[in-house]
Structure formats: structure tokens, C-alpha cells
A and B are shown apart, each in its own frame.
Chain A
Amino acid sequence: MNNTLQHVGNPNVQAVDGLDKVLGRTKYVGDMVLDGMLHVKLLLSPLPHALISQINTEPALNVPGVKAVITSADFPDNGAFGWPIKDDFVLAHQKVRYVGEPVAAVAAETEKAAAKGVRAIRLELEKLPIVSDPAHALDADAPLIPLDPPQDSGNLCETLIVRNGNPEPILAECATVLDEIYYFQHQDHAYLEMEGALAIPEPDGGVTIFANDQSPHINRGNASAILGLAEDEVRIIQPPVGGSFGGKDDIVYQLTGITARLALMTKRPVRLLLTREESLKSSYKREAMQIGLTIGMDNEGKVRAGKAAILADSGAFASMTTLAAWRASMHALGTYRYEAAHVDTQVVYTNNGYSGAFRGFGNTQSAAASEIAIDELAYLADEDPIEFRLQNILQQDDKAFTGNTIEYESGLQKCLEWVRKQSDWSTKREDYPKSNLHSDLVQGIGVACYFHGSGLGGEGLDYARATLQVNQDHTITLQSGLTDYGQGSRTVFTLVAAETLGVSPGRIQMLRPDTHTALETGPTVASRASIVGGNATRVAAEKIKNMLQLAAADLLSCSTEQLFWEDETVIGPSEIPVSLEAVIDHAFAMGLQLSARGYWQLPEIHWDLATGSGVPYSTYSYGAQIADVTVNRQTGDVTVNKIWAAHDGGQIIYPNGAKGQLLGGIAQGLGYALTEGFSYKDSYPQKKNLNQYHIPTSLDVPEIESTFVETTFPIGPFGAKNLAEPVMIATTPAIANAVFHACGVRCRSFPISPAWLRDRLSDVTPS
């Protein structure tokens, strides 16, 4: 690592927006109140699949206090939206396709009046047969869910392939072939702040919307189409966002469209906030997925060939599920060397809510499936699971199962070695089985590792823009269109700018995204903010730095090569120190415009969807985790005692934040493994509120020992890679593999049900 850095990597740096948050002063969208503001309540579909035979909103308008009621008829093109597949509507059109789908919206003087208005709407639905099991979504007699099948093939939403050589003849030669299917339920994001939007009509016919989305520019493009306005007539301002994890895009775009339309109709500010129960019902989830893996190895434990078959449940709409399924496909066989590999993925429509983006974006499932499969192979080979992995993992210059070469240094081996050493792995692997004999509480230790493609990869051009300006009062203003919904990117960008400029971070004020002032910069997704947003900030800061150098040289009557900066002071040949303030003043006097734009993009790559080959990502981040668990043989309960985690994120820019991302990611992975099944029964959601949908509490999260290993990634800002998503994906398989070590039961369905495990335990003799 670079030891000359002052701000980047400084362990004492605090979040730039932390103070307002600890004081309770931060204004989230639900905390904003305007004079004359109307409140909105939604009519949600009570049925999973039905035709809307009639919807009469007249009675709602007669409720005192109600000012407006809207349905899909109030939008151009009926409010159709959705990318990459335009199959959704702001409010249900012609039919409802899941329980909780917004059908109509009522704006009223009070929330109570709006709720009364919703109850007054007469909605007549004609029940349709449902698809609740994705495995039957493509049956010939399955009821059709989309209005226009995107693949001209019923409920088929998307197919994806990977074709790298031919695995079949190699599998036929393999000494051992594992063939298993892994199942994953839906997961809810459960950010503590629910989704919301506040729309304000502008006198010129436009509309300004405060929305807690992830990607304001995408929201603007979407909203302008939904509202029939020009893009510059729609202004999206992003307030602080109370967590997102991929979850506040499409659903918030809907709320944006709804509040904007109502604001334009009533000419009053309009606010809509979902309650937790509405959020759990209506918002999109991590897609349920089943992953079948066939992996062959020779008799020396060398992995040789693999096949994966993925079935993803997109629910009622595509949202981001097709792209998440693409990422799942690009990681399906894990971070190992294969001579040949095929992946076949299908994304299907059902009536189980709808699915979209969620941290890990398909690799949460793929890493879990492949890491359990690898553990199964290590067991069949009678090898230590870490030794088995070390023999087979990808290193720099190896080829991934997708056929592309690993171009940059991989920290995976270092990660595996660190968690092995810190956890005292070998001793515990040996000792636990002995101490487990004759005990109802059995202990185990398991490992998992991962690779995770950085950025959008083959999904699209991966770029960002940033603007930076020095003000006459010597402060510096930084803006990016990339959003900080808690992950710390405002702090990261501030540190990158401070380091590049050689100024104190306190001098820099980072504005929030506002589509009228921030440059369009693509979506805030795919853990890409630090790399592309950080580099765009660096580029802008380098331009400003050059101008300051010119001004300093002019002021000190020397060449720029003769300048020496220390902190915010510059010295020239005269050896009289001059302050940054004086240099800034001189720059303005010279007429220099101390503002700059930065643009940066990842190297362009291409993945060919038709042939299933190409380069899916220009680089990857890596990591490994070990879980130590106790299984109660009587109840089937799994308790996680400790987790060791190592992640290769290149140069860490904001250490406190990076550690928080890692710890929080592990907590989400823990929930995914053990409690967070957002289940549907006959397409009806089974979890109403947070007393039924259990995310981990402070008592569930164990002690965690973690580290970031150092690798070189020359094109990252100061060498930084991504980390927000991948840090969560090893936790579930590490726990499952530890459960196997503890009690000999292979968990292949998640979350792990204690009742299921208890029943299996009665079949298994203690090893």
C-alpha cells in the first residue's frame, strides 16, 4: 500500500454526513413537511392474479378531504415503464399480477382521509389462475402472466447461456461428478427507512421530486416518460436515504410517478410514504432461485468441468432480475479453474411478488451454491476444504469458467490463508468431531470463498462524472450523480478529492445528487461507485490541482516544477511559505476558473449474449470467510459463534466505512442463511411485518474478526476495488459448510429451516 497517503486509508476518518445523523437532524423524505402538502395512500391488489373488470374512483372523490384519485388511465401509455424489459406499470393496468401491486392512489388533506378514500374505491377483480411454482411457469397450460411476453414464449422472461468448450466428454472421464440442486427463497431488503417520494409542482408546469431512490438520473428519465414531460421539466433531488441495498429503484420510480402526477393535478405538494407492511408486500425482493450444478473432478481432486442450470423467479415483472440472472450466470461455477463449462439460465414470470436488484445481484445465490458444491467435492475427495480450494482457485492469468483471462492480481489465496490462520482452522476441524460425540450441542467450522465481477461488466458502459469547484471563500464543492444511501460514497469521494488536491477534507463540501445540477452519471449500482466515481473525482481534482499549480507558480514567480506543497502550504525558490488561500485568491485574480469536470470509465469489454462467450468483467474482487457454528441436535437451531472474514478490496479508501460494509454484509448473509425467507404460499406473501420477517438482531450477529488484504489494482482510484456487495456472499455457504462439519447434514435449501434440520438429524448417526 501507499504510505504517502494522508486522507485515503486514514483509519481516523469519520463519515462526512455522520454528525447530522447522530443528532437526529438528518431529514429523510418522510421528515419533510411542506405547507399545503397532501398525503397519499395506495390501493394495493388483494389478489395475486386477476383481471381488473372495473375500477370506480368516484366514491373516493366524495370522501371529505380527498383531492384527487389516479389510476393507470391518468398516465401516457398507461404509465408503462421498466428497463431493460418494459413490462410494469406505475399503477396496475388491465390486470393485477401480485398481491400488493399498486392499483390506484388517493391524495388527501390527511393520511386518514386518503386511507378512507382508498377504502371507498370500488375495485372489481376477476380471479385468474396463478403461477406460484417457477418450475411450472413454462408448462404448456400455465396461465400467461405478462401482457406482452418478451420472448414470445409464455412466461419466459429471459434465457442466458455460457458456452466455454464442451464439458460433456470431460465429465464422462471424471473420477467423481457431483450433481446437486440448491434452492434459495426470496429475501427482502428490510432497509429501516421505507420507500417514499415528495413531489412539488413548479409554476412552469414542471415538477420537483425528493425521492429516496438509488439512481436519480434514471428516475428522472423514467419519470419524464411516465408523465409526458421533457427531461428538464422533471427535477429529482435526492434526500438522505435510509438504506437501499439495491431495493430503492423501481418501486421508488413508481412512487415518484404517482406523487408527481398527483402534484401536477392538484397543484400542491404531495408526499407518499409506504408503511412497513406496504413495503414488505409491494416492494421487490431478491429473486428466489434454484441452481443445479454438475461438477466433475479427477481422482487427484482437480476440478475439470462443470455445468449449471439456473431457474430464477422474477415474479410479476422483470425489473432487474434478468440482469441479476446474468450476473448469477457469470459466477455460477465459482472462482475455480475449469477446462470447460456451460451455463443455462431461465428467468420466468410467476405471481410471487416481483423481484429485482439486491446486494450481491445473483452472485449471492451463485456463490452459495457453488461454494457448497465445492465443499461437497472436497469431502468426496477426502481433502481439507481449504486445501482443496487452494489447489483449484483462479490466480492471475488463469482462465475463469466463462473463458476470460484473470487480468489483475487476485488476493484470494491470501484471504483463504488469513482466515485459516486466524480461526485456528486445522485444530478445530480435527477437534470438533471428537468433542461432538455424545453431545446434543455439536460444533462445526466451515469455509467459503468467492470472486465478484467489479462494476457493470458486460451489462453496459461503466462510467461516471464528477464536478469540483473552488469557491471564492476558499471552500471546495464536490458533486456526483452517484448517491450515498449509507454505504459511505460521499466520504469516499471527499477523501479522493482531498488526497488529490492536497487539502483538508473539511474544506470540501459534497453536495447531494440533484438532476438539475449534477452531471448524468449512470446508476449507483454494482458496487461501482468507488472505482468509477472515485476515478471521476480524481480526474476532476487533478485538473483543479494543475490550475492551482499554475497560480502558485505565477504568484511565486517560478516554474511549477519548483513548487513544494506541504499540507495546504506551498513553498517556491524564495522559501517563504504561501497559504492555499493566497494561491486561490491569486488564481481568481488571474481569471482562472477553478472548476472542473471529471469523467472516467472502466475499459470497454464485450460479452456476447448469443454465443455465451466473451469477457464479462474487466476485473474481480475476492474474499473468504470461515464460520464457526453450533447445531442443537434436539431443535435443529443453528447458532453462529464466530466469523472470520478477509476481503481483497485493493487500497481501502475509508477504513471505518469499509469495515462497516463488511460487517453489515455479513449480517445480511447471516439472515439469508438462517431466518430471512420471504416466503409465498399460493403466491400470497407470508410475512407481514418485522415481527414475522426476522432480520438479524445484535444478539444474532456473532463476533467477527476481519481484514482487508492488500493487492495491486493499478487502474482503481489509489488502487481501490469494490467491496459493498461481495462481502455478504460468502456468509451463507460458510455457515452451511460449518453445519455439515458439525452434524453431517448438507443444507441445500435456504434459509435453513430448524425443523427440517432436526428431522434430518434424527436420520444421521453422529460422525
Chain B
Amino acid sequence: MKISFTLNYKPITIDVPPKTVLLDVLRDELGLTGSKPGCEIGSCGSCKVIIDGEAQNSCTIAADRLEGTTILTIEGLSAPDGKPNDLQQSFLEHGAVQCGYCIPGMVMAGEELLANNPFPSRLEIRQAISGNLCRCTGYVQIVDAIEATARNRAQAKEGS
């Protein structure tokens, strides 16, 4: 089955077996292993990517629904030279990373939130990442990281 979509700002056409889910397309066909399997039923958020502006669990998205979509994965978030973006940097500064396995999905959930709600409250941040399980951090420093990024982006906007 041939499908065409935009992945991390680049158009792409690939041939995938039928009934393939996006997570497998990314990991097995394209070698993008930043999105992680954690449950394969959409319960943990480790495989979250942004499809047409909406954060989705890629383990539950059938490849045949991808035609014409625009997809952003963790690999597309950092600068081309490998520098982390401001949200990723904020995760580092706030000690929000322990084992790291849930982090790509967390960052994508955070990005979606900040794109749609530039001034989220802490409760709104907690709601936005409530579909992303983390077993190491207790979430607090992750919420801190997203909150600080929102503040910094707002200030940067004001200043510009």
C-alpha cells in the first residue's frame, strides 16, 4: 500500500504492508525510533506524535489514514544541527528526565498544548499530559518544564 504524507517538514511516499500502524511505519520502515512502544493500545503515550496539529498515539493510527497528513515526530522537533528546542532544553533544566523512555511522547504532548494554549495553567498542563504515563518522575518536574517554556515563549513574543 503506497501512502504519501509530510513527515518532519519533508514530503514522503512509502510502500507499507496493509494494517500497519504509524508507530511501526516510523520505527521499522523509516528507522525513526524516537517514538516508543509502551502498550500498543494507546494507553501510555510513549509513541505520541503530532498529526495535523493534534497529538496522537501512533500505535493506534492505521497507516491508511495518513494519506495527505502532516506529521511531526520527536526527530523533527530539534534544530537540524541537533540542538534541542526550548521545550526540550527546559526538560533538561528542570530535571524532568530520568530513564527517558516516556520523554519523546511527553515532549510531543507538551508541544501540542503550547501550540493550542500558549498560557496554560498547571492543571491544564497536567490534563494535557494525562495520557502520557511516566513511571520515574511523578510528573512534577515535567509540568515545571512545560510551564517555564510557556512563560518564556510568551515573554519572547512580547519582546519581539
Contact = CB atoms under 8 A, between A and B. Distances in A.
Interface in A563-604: none
A486 B102 CA distance: 11
B95 A243 contact: no
Interface stretch (B61-69, B126-134, B150-158): B126-134
A242 B99 CA distance: 5
A698 B92 contact: no
Nearest to B37: A30
B42 to A, nearest CB: 8
From DSSP, what is the main secondary structure of chain A's interface residues?
loop
Nearest to B126: A698
Interface string B118-160: 0000000111011111111111111100000000000000000
A664 B137 contact: yes
Contacts of A20: 100
B80 interface: no
Q: Give the interface size bracket for A toward B.
A: 35 or more
Contacts of A24: 33-35, 73-75, 77, 103-104
A140 interface: no
Contacts of A194: 37-38
Nearest to B125: A698
B46 A22 contact: no
B41 A691 contact: yes
Given A695-B133, A698-B143, A22 B39 contact: no
A506 to B, nearest CB: 14
A610 interface: no
B138 A193 contact: no
A26 interface: yes
Contact of B39 (A242, A243, A689, A697): A689
B30 to A, nearest CB: 12
B117 interface: no
Contacts of B73: 24
A33 B33 CA distance: 10
Interface string A682-702: 000000011100011111010
Contact of B135 (A191, A656, A661): A191
B6 interface: no
Nearest to A28: B101
B98 interface: yes
Contacts of A659: 95, 141
Interface in B24-77: 27, 31, 33-41, 43-44, 46, 73-75, 77
Contacts of B11: none
A23 B43 contact: no
Interface string A20-40: 111111111011010000000
Contacts of A26: 100
Contacts of A698: 125-127, 129-130, 132, 134, 139, 142-143
Nearest to A25: B34
A21 B43 contact: no
B63 to A, nearest CB: 16
Nearest to A665: B138
Interface stretch (A11-19, A368-376, A514-522, A732-740): A11-19
B95 A656 contact: yes
A764 interface: no
A657 interface: yes
Contacts of A193: 36, 38, 99, 101
Given A486-B136, A695-B135, A697-B130, A192 B99 contact: yes
A616 interface: no
A28 B36 contact: yes
Give the one of A23, A660, A691, A704 with max B CB within 10 A. Answer: A23
Contacts of B33: 24, 27, 30-31
A697 B133 contact: yes
B92 A667 contact: no
Contacts of B138: 660, 663-667, 696, 701, 704
A469 B75 CA distance: 34
Given A26-B100, A659-B95, A660-B95, A19 B130 contact: no
B140 A241 contact: no
A191 B133 CA distance: 10
Contacts of B94: 656
B136 A22 contact: no
B38 A192 contact: yes
A191 B141 contact: no
Nearest to A112: B17
Contact of B46 (A192, A244, A667): A192
B18 interface: no
B40 A276 contact: yes
B110 to A, nearest CB: 11
A488 interface: yes
A485 interface: yes
B140 A663 contact: yes
A189 B136 CA distance: 11
A666 B136 CA distance: 10
Contact of A660 (B41, B104, B136): B136
A494 to B, nearest CB: 15
A329 B122 CA distance: 42
Contacts of A691: 39, 41, 43
B22 to A, nearest CB: 15
A312 to B, nearest CB: 24
B107 interface: yes
Nearest to A643: B138
Contacts of B131: 697
Contact of A19 (B38, B92, B98): B92
Interface in B84-104: 84, 88-89, 91-104
B101 A243 contact: yes
B78 interface: yes
Contacts of A699: 126-127, 130
B91 A18 contact: yes
Contacts of B102: 192
Give the one of B44, B84, B143 with max A CB within 10 A. Answer: B44
Contacts of A19: 84, 92
A22 B107 contact: yes
Interface of A: 14-15, 17-28, 30-31, 33, 189-194, 240-245, 275-276, 485-488, 655-657, 659-661, 663-668, 689-691, 695-699, 701, 704
27 contacts: A15-B97, A20-B100, A22-B103, A23-B75, A24-B77, A192-B46, A192-B99, A192-B102, A193-B38, A240-B99, A242-B101, A243-B101, A243-B136, A276-B38, A276-B40, A655-B95, A656-B95, A657-B95, A659-B95, A663-B138, A664-B136, A690-B38, A697-B131, A697-B133, A697-B139, A698-B125, A698-B142
4 closest Cβ contacts across the A-B interface? A24-B34, A486-B99, A656-B95, A21-B100
